[in-house]
């Protein structure tokens, strides 16, 4: 996923960025509302992690702007405010989840995965795609009882297709899904990962539409 992290505490921001980058997600980290608005205008995100107390205003106000603009991007609030009234305000403003600081990074990862599954239309973490048995919550894949291991980047790419079965996804969309701002990407990177997925999961898993992109048949 391509994730926008809006957090002004440097230590926490670094820890979150390291955690979700290690899981194969692309993370753009900003520390102010103004930078967040610029990023949201220029880039499609699969999820926003939003602190509430920011140097140039309230994260709630940014969330309200996002929803008034018609954006349906999932938003998870990260905040030290633990009052029930604050949670209600955040959820009523359009947040999809609310995590109180300090939190365990593994819990954050689980919540990101759960929100992503809900938006993809299937909250069940267990999937069957042809001969493949998939546990999205544990990042496990098996075929006929044999485990198949994917790297974090391979899993992130596979997840992009799982979230949009039957949808044609262009090479540039896949690059945006996998890489944050400023990352140097070699011209054949996506092709390399597609080839690896086919070798591990089956050549018929992903279809190439020449000149346009790739899709996972329904």
Residue where a domain terminates, one of 70, 99, 119: 119
Q: What is the pLDDT of residue 7?
A: 97
Residue where a domain terminates, one of 119, 142, 169: 119
Contacts of 41 (CB under 8 A, 6+ apart): none
Tell me the whole-structure pTM to 2 decimals.
Answer: 0.76
Q: What is the pLDDT of residue 139?
A: 86
Share of the chain above pLDDT 70, in %: 99
Q: What is the pLDDT of residue 107?
A: 94
Average pLDDT, the chain: 91
With b meaning 16 or more CB within 10 Å and e meaning fewer, what string describes 58-75? ebbebbeebeeeeeebbb
Diameter over CA atoms, the chain? 54
Q: What is the mean pLDDT of residues 113-127?
A: 82
Specify the CATH number for the domain of residue 150: 1.10.10.10
Do 21 and 93 fall into the same domain?
yes
Q: What is the pLDDT of residue 176?
A: 84
What domain range includes position 187?
126-215
Q: What is the pLDDT of residue 182?
A: 65
Q: What is the pLDDT of residue 119?
A: 81
Do 51 and 33 fall into the same domain?
yes
Residue where a domain terminates, one of 119, 150, 172: 119
Give the count of domains, the chain: 2
On the question of pLDDT at 213 being above 70, the answer is yes
């Amino acid at each position: 996923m391509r994730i926008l992290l809006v957090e002004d505490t440097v230590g926490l921001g670094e820890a979150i960025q390291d955690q979700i980058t290690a899981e194969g997600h692309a993370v753009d980290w900003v520390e102010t509302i103004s930078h967040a608005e610029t990023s949201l205008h220029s880039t499609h995100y699969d999820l926003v992690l939003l602190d509430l107390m920011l140097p140039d205003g309230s994260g709630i106000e940014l969330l309200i702007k996002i929803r008034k603009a018609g954006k349906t991007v999932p938003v998870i609030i990260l905040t030290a405010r633990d009052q029930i009234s604050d949670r209600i305000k955040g959820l009523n403003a359009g947040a999809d989840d609310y995590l109180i600081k300090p939190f365990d990074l593994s819990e954050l990862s689980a919540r990101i995965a759960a929100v992503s599954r809900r938006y993809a239309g299937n909250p069940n973490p267990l999937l069957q795609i042809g001969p493949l048995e998939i546990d999205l919550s544990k990042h496990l894949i098996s075929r006929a009882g044999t485990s198949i291991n994917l790297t974090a980047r391979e899993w992130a790419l596979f997840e992009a297709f799982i979230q949009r079965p039957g949808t044609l996804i262009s090479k540039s969309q896949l690059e945006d899904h996998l890489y944050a701002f400023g990352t140097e990407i070699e011209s054949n990177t996506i092709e390399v990962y597609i080839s690896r997925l086919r070798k591990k999961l089956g050549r018929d898993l992903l279809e190439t539409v020449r000149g346009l992109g790739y899709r996972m048949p329904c």
